[in-house]
Amino acid sequence: MNSTDMKIGFWASLLQSIVGYLYVIVYIIFVITSPWLLNPWTGIADFALLYNGANAVLIIIIQVLAFLQAFFFFIIMVVISEKVTGERKTLVKIGVYCTVIFLALSSVHYYIQWTSVTSGILNGELEGLNLLAQFNMDSPVSMINMLGWMFFFGIANIILAFCFETGAKRNWLKWGFLINGIICVISFIFYTIGLKSISFLWMISLIITWYTYPMLTVLFRKEKLELR
């Protein structure tokens, strides 16, 4: 991996660290100031009444931060794939393909929120938005987002876990990505059969294992990222 790759990896992992923890802070503020978020979905008309002022701003900020997380993860995965050699080269290519699908699904989802949903609510054109709104966990668009974040992101994390050499810090990286990936895939299975409350465990897993990105940032900075 050349110095340019290291610099790109450093900035991507640094920004991923910042964006991820900023997402958690904003989300906590959102939950505290908007307790309706924890209530069951009651329809687009009720949601439209709440989509104003600070609520609307926080929703858009959260969505932008989530979109950036998918983008920075894609960059990190591509950079790491350039370093991996041997029998794991094909495996990491599969991880890159999964990441591309994850980024595409996530991007489509959030772009729909910023265009169709936001525009429809602001213009009072609510017909059909039940099928598009993110906070309706039964909407097809929300399902597309979960397919990306739970299944394809999970598979990519599992593959990434097997790319690192052994060592004290790198073992933490391996276990962080592996645990997150496994919980993502398990959450996907439960989510598919209708147990959507699993999304809480999934989010907790993301928060706990997000330490992997600050660690990656340090390793990229010191050019000590050893891969198989």
Note whether residue 44 is domain-resident. yes
pLDDT tens digits, 30-60 = 888 887 777 788 899 999 988 888 888 999 9
Are 152 and 99 spatial neighbours (Cβ–Cβ below 8 Å)?
Answer: yes
pLDDT digits (tens, 9 = 90+) for 67-98: 999 999 999 999 999 888 777 888 999 999 99
Whether 137 has a pLDDT exceeding 70, the answer reads yes
- What percentage of the chain has pLDDT greater than the value 90? 64
Q: Is residue 34 part of a domain?
A: yes
Instruction: Report yes or no on 207 lying in a domain.
Output: yes
Q: What are phi and psi of 166, to 5 degrees?
A: -75, 155
What is the distance between the alpha carbons of residues 31 and 36, in angstroms, rounded to a whole number? 8
The pLDDT of residue 83:
84
**How does residue 121 score in pLDDT terms, banded at 50, 70 and 90?**
very high
The contacts of residue 2 (CB under 8 Å, 6+ apart) are none
Q: What is the mean pLDDT of residues 188-216?
A: 91
21 domain residue, yes or no: yes
Instruction: Retrieve residue 26's tokens.
Output: 């904003």
Q: Is residue 227 part of a domain?
A: no
Residue 41 and residue 135 in contact, taking contact as beta carbons nearer than 8 Å? yes
- What per-residue confidence (pLDDT) applies to 93? 93
- DSSP of 72-88: HHHHHHHHHHHH--TTH
Residue 215 to residue 169: CA distance in whole angstroms: 8
**Looking at residue 141, what is its pLDDT?**
94
Tell me the C-alpha distance between 105 and 224, whole Å. 33
Average pLDDT, the chain: 90
Q: By residue range, what is the domain housing residue 155?
A: 3-221
Relative orientation angle of helices 153-161 and 53-83, to the nearest 10 degrees: 40
Does residue 130 fall inside a structural domain? yes
User: Can you read off the two tokens belonging to residue 47?
Assistant: 């949601």
Q: What is the pLDDT at residue 1?
A: 61
Residue 131 has pLDDT above 90, yes or no: yes
Residue 72: which residues within 8 A CB-CB, separation 6 or more? 12, 13, 15, 16, 19
What average pLDDT does the segment 203-207 reach?
92
The CA-CA-CA angle for residues 131, 133, 134, to 5°, reads 120
Domain total of the chain: 1
User: Is 228 within the bounds of a domain?
Assistant: no
Does residue 226 belong to any structural domain of this protein?
no
Q: How far is CA 143 from the centre of its chain?
A: 14
